[in-house]
């Protein structure tokens, strides 16, 4: 099978995924080294994630976030003590994850690059004009075929693909690696690019993120934390 065909089929197979358990590792200018593990579902639209980062805005960070019932909740060392007011969690609305870049909202707790759905980010690799087969590798215990390609904004043909570039604050070109299992499904993908400062659009280091799919289409339950242990900051939609 031609590399471009294998890549296109793997991307297409991911469109029907309704829930995903995944891991993210890599480096961002805002966090230094990071590691996150998350579970998400599309119906209902929920997500929970634990994340650790070596240098998130100047300090070592460990935190957990949840998106459920159109609200956002967070706990961990990233949060200022005065914001918690003796509680373990903070909450606010609207909490939005996995939609378009301008819609996503975590109140500046999560890095912007982790707010898009990895299923949407994956679609970018379908725009690679130079997809090539690297070889076979084992990823998380699964045998996979490794593909690699270069993605450019002008080659992207869908709104979803182009929106991911803004979500990642990535400059052209983007280098992507894709690992496809024996069933033709995505097991892992990697995104590397020069990182742009969102305010000035000037180069600000580099991003290197690897997303590993650990499980798909299994039930995902995300619950709001106990109300008596959560400081509710309000709903921005209520003015």
172-188 burial by CB neighbour count: b if 16+ within 10 A, else e? ebbebbbbbbeeebbbb
16: CB partners within 8 A, 6+ apart: none
Q: What is the pTM of this model?
A: 0.94
Rounded Cα distance, 232 and 131, in Å: 48
Rounded Cα distance, 34 and 27, in Å: 6
Bridge partners, residue 162, by sequence: none
128-154, pLDDT tens digit by residue? 999 999 999 999 999 999 999 999 999
67: CB partners within 8 A, 6+ apart: 45, 46, 47, 48, 73, 95, 96, 97, 106, 222
Sheet containing strand 186-196, edge to edge, reads: 132-139, 142-151, 174-181, 186-196, 203-216, 19-28, 32-42, 45-56, 59-68, 71-76, 89-93, 230-235
148-207, pLDDT tens digit by residue? 999 999 999 999 999 999 889 999 999 999 999 999 999 999 999 999 888 888 898 999
pLDDT exceeds cutoff 80 at 82: no
How many angstroms separate the Cα of 119 from the Cα of each of 75, 142, 224?
26, 19, 24
Query: Taking residues 18-42, what's their average pLDDT?
Result: 95
Per DSSP bridges, beta strands 142-151 and 174-181 are antiparallel
Q: What percent of the chain has pLDDT over 90?
A: 75
Q: Are 186 and 14 within 8 A, CB to CB?
A: yes
Predicted confidence band of residue 102 (pLDDT cuts 50, 70, 90): confident
Predicted confidence band of residue 89 (pLDDT cuts 50, 70, 90): very high
Lowest mean pLDDT among 26-35, 77-86, 143-152: 77-86
Query: Taking residues 16-25, what's their average pLDDT?
Result: 97
Bridge partners, residue 143, by sequence: 138
In terms of C-beta density within 10 A (0-12 exposed, 13-18 middle, 19 or more buried), how is residue 19 classed?
Answer: middle
Q: And the tokens for 32? A: 């230094």
What structural domains and CATH numbers belong to the chain? 3-214 (2.50.20.20)
159-171 burial by CB neighbour count: b if 16+ within 10 A, else e? ebbbbbbbbbbbb
Block residue for tokens 């976030």: 65
How many angstroms separate the Cα of 107 from the Cα of each of 4, 55, 95, 193?
39, 19, 8, 25
Average pLDDT, the chain: 93
Q: What is the pLDDT of residue 200?
A: 86
| Total length of the chain | 239
């Amino acid at each position: 099978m031609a590399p471009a065909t294998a890549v296109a089929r793997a991307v297409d197979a991911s469109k029907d995924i309704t829930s995903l358990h995944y891991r993210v590792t890599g480096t961002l200018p805002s966090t230094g080294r990071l590691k996150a593990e998350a579970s998400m579902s599309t119906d209902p639209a929920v997500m929970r994630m634990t994340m650790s980062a070596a240098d998130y805005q100047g300090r070592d960070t460990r935190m957990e976030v949840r998106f459920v019932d159109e609200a956002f909740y967070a706990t961990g060392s990233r949060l200022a003590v005065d914001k918690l007011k003796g509680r373990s969690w903070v909450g606010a609305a609207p909490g939005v994850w996995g939609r378009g870049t301008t819609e996503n909202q975590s109140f500046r707790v999560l890095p912007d690059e982790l707010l898009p759905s990895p299923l949407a980010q994956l679609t970018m690799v379908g725009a690679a004009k130079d997809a090539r087969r690297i070889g076979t590798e084992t990823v998380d215990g699964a045998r996979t075929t490794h593909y690699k390609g270069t993605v450019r904004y002008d080659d992207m043909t869908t709104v979803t693909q182009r929106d991911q570039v803004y979500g990642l604050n990535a400059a052209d070109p983007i280098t992507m690696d894709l690992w496809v299992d024996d069933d033709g499904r995505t097991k892992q993908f990697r995104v590397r690019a020069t990182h742009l400062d969102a305010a000035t659009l000037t180069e600000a280091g580099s991003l290197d993120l690897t997303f590993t799919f650990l499980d798909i289409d299994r039930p995902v339950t995300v619950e709001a934390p106990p109300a008596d242990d959560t400081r509710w900051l309000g709903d921005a939609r209520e003015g």
